[in-house]
Amino acid sequence: MTSSSHEVSVGARLPDWVMADVRAERMRVTSAIHRDPNPVHWDPRSTRSRGLDGRVINQGPLNASYLVNMVMAWRGPTCLRGLHVEFDGRICDGDHVTARGVVTAIDPMTHVATCEVWLERLDGSRPVVGTARVDLSG
């Protein structure tokens, strides 16, 4: 974790955070916890019947959590001041995704950085993109 906001500048890359194997088991547990009845998150037959390849689809909150993990690994557990994400594609079991980010602005008064963040597949596609506001003062 960086100790000072002075060490961070616009254009700095956040350290990558890797989820090398998105797992269907985690999706089933998350579905149970959230009481999410949508079978696309836990039943391969459901995705096959919808013309997909039978891999279950990761929930949005799990995808967002990968971005949160990246930011917190970089600046600590209390640094996140805001997160906005857009889901432009699906992440499915067996996918390898990397959370990445770059600092796009720093407010010198509050020491809060605005960061473009995204999940990237091995093919370079970005199914989840967003903006994080990160406190650099900690």
**Span 51-108, pLDDT tens digits:** 888 899 999 999 999 999 999 999 999 999 999 999 999 999 999 999 999 999 999 9
| CA nearest neighbour of 61 among 80, 85, 89 | 85
For 94-120, how does the pLDDT look when each residue is reduced to its tens digit (9 = 90+)?
999 999 999 999 999 999 999 999 999
| pLDDT at 5 > cutoff 80 | no
pTM (predicted TM-score): 0.90
Q: Which domains does the chain have, with CATH numbers?
A: 8-22+57-135 (3.10.129.10)
What span, in angstroms and rounded, lies between the C-alpha atoms of 136 and 17?
19
What span, in angstroms and rounded, lies between the C-alpha atoms of 138 and 105?
17
CA angle 13, 65, 5 (to 5 degrees): 35
